[in-house]
């Protein structure tokens, strides 16, 4: 009897563990990716940010393109400049197989490279799944302050 109860408990525990292992919803995955991008900017880790972008990532209406954005982080790291990133609430909209995320971000820094980009920005980013991960393929922002 005890052995049967122990086995049943083990099976229940295993099933509960498996149910916790399922992938999180796409909206939650994109929120996490945005938070990872903010952390990559804070730590000036161009490689970590690059992992979140598609090869054809675009930023219309910006002096920066994908290569320049990553280079900016690399130079900030080499100069040991501080980068401050504060995310506002993230609004997610699912559009078929794609996701659009809107949020505000406050950028700050300490150094010669970053000050011209300080301020509060309204960001709209577009995401698609590549392999098993969500990657940003388009972003545009507007400075609000």
Per-residue pLDDT reduced to its tens digit, 92-145: 999 999 999 999 999 887 666 555 567 899 999 999 999 999 999 999 999 997
H or E stretch including 106? strand 98-110
Q: Region 24-44: what's the mean pLDDT?
A: 96
Integer Cα distance of 126 and 100 in angstroms: 4
For the chain, domain boundaries: 24-143
Integer Cα distance of 53 and 66 in angstroms: 8
What's the fold here for domain 24-143?
Nuclear Transport Factor 2; Chain: A, (3.10.450)
Strands 53-58 and 133-143: parallel
Q: Region 23-43: what's the mean pLDDT?
A: 96
Both tokens of 130, joined, read: 């590549």
Integer Cα distance of 46 and 50 in angstroms: 6
Both tokens of 61, joined, read: 């209406």
State the Cα torsion 55-97-94-84 to the nearest 10°: -20
């Amino acid at each position: 009897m005890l052995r049967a109860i122990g086995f049943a408990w083990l099976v229940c525990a295993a099933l509960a563990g498996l149910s916790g292992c399922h992938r999180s919803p796409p909206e939650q995955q994109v929120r996490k990716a945005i938070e990872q991008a903010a952390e990559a900017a804070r730590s000036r880790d161009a490689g970590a940010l690059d992992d979140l972008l598609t090869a054809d990532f675009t930023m219309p209406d910006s002096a920066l393109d994908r290569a320049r954005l990553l280079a900016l982080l690399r130079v900030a790291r080499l100069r040991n400049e501080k980068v401050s990133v504060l995310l506002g609430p993230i609004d997610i909209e699912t559009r078929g197989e794609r996701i659009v995320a809107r949020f505000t971000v406050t950028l700050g820094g300490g150094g010669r490279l970053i000050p011209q980009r300080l301020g509060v920005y309204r960001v709209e980013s577009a995401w698609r799944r590549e392999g098993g991960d969500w990657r940003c393929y388009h972003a545009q922002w507007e400075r609000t302050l």
